[in-house]
Structure 1
Amino acid sequence: MKYAICNETFEGWEHARVCARVAELGYTGLEVAPFTLAPRITDVSAARRSELRKQAESAGVQIIGLHWLLAKTEGFHLTSPDAATRKRTGEYLAELSHAAADLGGDILVLGSPFQRNLAEGITREQGEAFAADALAHCLPALERDRVYLCLEPLTPAETNFMTTAAEGVALARKLAHPFVKLHLDVKAMAAESAPTPDVIRANREYMHHFHANDPNKRGPGFGNTDFKPIFQALKDVNYVGWVSVEVFDYSPDPDTIARDSIRYMRECAG
C-alpha cells in the first residue's frame, strides 16, 4: 500500500516541515488542499509551485494531487442552472489540473459539497446533466496534464448530489472519459446501504483514489471502524493507488493523527 496524508491536517505548519515529518512517519505521499496555498490556485505562481514540489521531493515525498477543490471559493458551482457559472467552474477545474501536474501529482478529488448541492427545484437528472456540462470544460486539460479527476460521493448529511458510489459511477459513465474516475472515502461509504468492503468490490472498475478515515471524522483506528476487511477488499480488487488519510477532527494534534493512523493501517494491511 502507498500511504499519503492530507496537508490541511498540519494547519499552521510550513510546507517543508510537513513534508519532512510525514516522510519520517512513513508516508510517501502528500495530498494538498488548495486553500492552504492561496485563496485561488491561480494565485500560486509557477515559481512557488516548483518550490513546493522540490521541498516535497527532497524530503522523499510526492505531492499526489489536490482535494477540497472548490472549498473557500466563490463563483463556482457544479450543478448551477446558469451556463456561465458551469463554464467558469469547469475552467477553474482545468487550472487545478495544471497546478496538480506542476506540483508533481496526477489526482484531483472532487468533493466540495456546497459547490455541488442541487438548488431547490432541480432534479437529480438535471443536476447530473449540469455537472457533466461543467466538467466537460476541464476534460482537455485533464488529458493534456494526464491528471485524473476523481468524483467523490459524500453522505446525504453533507450534500444532496452524488451521495452514493453508484451515482458517482453514473456521472463518470456519462462523461465517458479515461481521466474521469471514482474516489471512495470510508466515512462517506459508511452511509451506503451495503458494507464498505462490498462497495469497494462493486466499484473496482472506476475506483482510482481512496481516503482512509472513520465516520467519527477522525483518522483510521481512532473510531469503531474495523479496517482489516477494508484493506482486504482493496487487495481483492488489486488496488494499486494511494490510501490517503483525511480527517475532519484535528484532535489531539497533527503528529498523533499522522503517526497513529499509519501504524494502524499497516497493522490492518498485514
Structure 2
Amino acid sequence: MIKSSATIALVPQITYGPWIYWKDLESSMQKASKLGFDAMELFTPASDTIDEGRLKELLDQYQLELSAVGTGAGKVIHGMTLTDPDPVIRQKAISFVSDMISFGAKFGAPAIIGSMQGNVLEAKDRELTLSWLAEALEVLGKKAHDSGTFLIYEPLNRYETNLMNTMKAGVEFLEKLDTKSVKLLADLFHMNIEEADISESILASGPHIGHIHFADSNRKPIGLGHTEMSSVSEAIKSINYEGYISAEAFPEPSPDEAAAQTIQSFKKYFR
C-alpha cells in the first residue's frame, strides 16, 4: 500500500526550505497524526540528535512510521560531500551517511543521499568524480544491506548538481554498481524541471524507485502549482509502488496549511 509522509526539519542552521514542519518534533508528529499521515521523514543535524528511545515512544504514541532520514546536514553544517576532491573529506562524508543509515535502520527507514552527492568541480574530471560517487555508494549500499534496509540516491535538478539530473541517468549509473541495495528517489519537483514527461520517466524507472517526494512544480504542496498529477499518480500506481509519498515541499502558505493541502492531495490521488 502506498503511504503518506510529512517532512520535518530539525536543523537549527536552516530557517527555510522544502520541509512541511519545523523544529518541534512532538507537536509536528501530533499534527501529522491528527491529519492522517502515515509517517514522518526526518532531516536532522546528525544521527545522534534524537534519542532513539524517545523517538520510538513518539512514533508509537502517534501511530506513525519513519519513512526516511535525510543526510543533507552533512553538507549544510560540515561542508562534506561524497565527491569532494579531498579523500579525507570523502571518508568523513561516508562515515556521516553510514551513521545515518544505522540510525534510520533501527526504525526500518532508509537514508537519502541528495545534496551530499556533491558536484563535478570545474577543474576536475567528470569520470573521476563519478568514480568517487560509485565507490561511496558501493560502501554505503553494503552498509544499508547489512543493516536490513536500502539506500536512496536522488537525482537533483541542474541548478543543484551536475552529476545525475534525470531518472534515466540515475538508473544507468546504479545498474553499473555491484550493490543492488541503492534505489532512486523520484522527486516530482526536480523531475518537473528535468524530465520531458514525468509519467513516462516513472514508468521507465519503476523497478528502481524506492521513495517519492511529493511537491508541485513550484515546490509548494501538490495542488498549488501546475504539475499534472492525475497521469503521474496513475504511473506511480501502475509500477506497483508500495513505498512512501513524502511531502518535501515548502511550508506555504503556512506549515499547517501546507500539511492539510498535502494530505488532501494525497488522498485525492492515492486513496
Secondary structure at the counterpart of residue 170 of structure 2? helix
Q: Name the SS for the 1:187 alignment partner.
A: helix
- Look up the match of 2:41: 31
What amino acid does structure 1 have at the position aligned with 2:5?
Answer: A
Gapped regions of structure 1 (runs ≥ 5):
none
Whole-angstrom CA distance in 1 between matches of 2:188 and 2:127: 26
Aligned-pair CA distance for 1:122: 2.4
Percent of paired sites with the same residue:
25
Aligned residue for 2:206, secondary structure, equals coil
SS of 2:194's equivalent? coil
Give, as a single letter, the amino acid of the residue that structure 2 aligns with 1:112.
S
Are 1:82 and 2:86 an aligned pair?
A: yes
Contact preservation (8 Å) 2:221, 2:262: yes
Shift of 1:110: 1.1
- How far residue 57 of structure 1 moved from its aligned partner, in angstroms, is 1.8
Q: Please report the RMSD computed on the Cα atoms of aligned residues, expressed in angstroms.
A: 1.8
- Cα deviation for residue 231 of structure 1 reads 0.6
Between the aligned partners of 1:237 and 1:128, the Cα distance in structure 2 is: 29
Aligned to 2:16: none
The residue type paired with residue 23 of structure 2 is G
**Are 1:220 and 1:264, in contact at CA under 8 Å, matched by a contact in 2?**
yes
Counterpart in the other structure of 1:143: 145
Q: For residue 55 of structure 1, what is the aligned residue in structure 2?
A: 58
Check if 1:12 corresponds to 2:23.
Answer: yes
Structure 2 residue aligned with 1:99: 103
Equivalence map 1:102-181=2 (5 Å): 102=106, 104-112=107-115, 116-181=118-183
Instruction: Indicate how the Cα distance of structure 1 residues 174 and 50 shifts in structure 2: closer, same or farther if over 3 A, else same.
Output: farther
User: Partners in 2 of 1:54 and 1:171 — Cα distance?
Assistant: 39
1:263 and 2:264 correspond: yes
TM-score, normalization by structure 2 = 0.89
* Distance in 2 of aligned mates of 1:136 and 1:225: 34
Amino acid at match of 1:83: P
TM-score, normalised via structure 1 length: 0.89
Larger RCO: 1 or 2 (CA < 8 Å, sep 6+): 2
Deviation at 1:258, TM superposition (A): 0.7
Aligned residue pairs, count:
259
Deviation at 1:133, TM superposition (A): 1.6
- Structure 1 residues 177, 259: CA separation in 2 closer, same or farther (over 3 Å shift)? same
Q: Distance in 1 between matches of 2:226 and 2:130?
A: 34
- The amino acid of 1:127's aligned partner reads T
Runs of 4 or more, structure 1, over 3 Å off, are: none
Unaligned 5+ runs, structure 2: 10-19
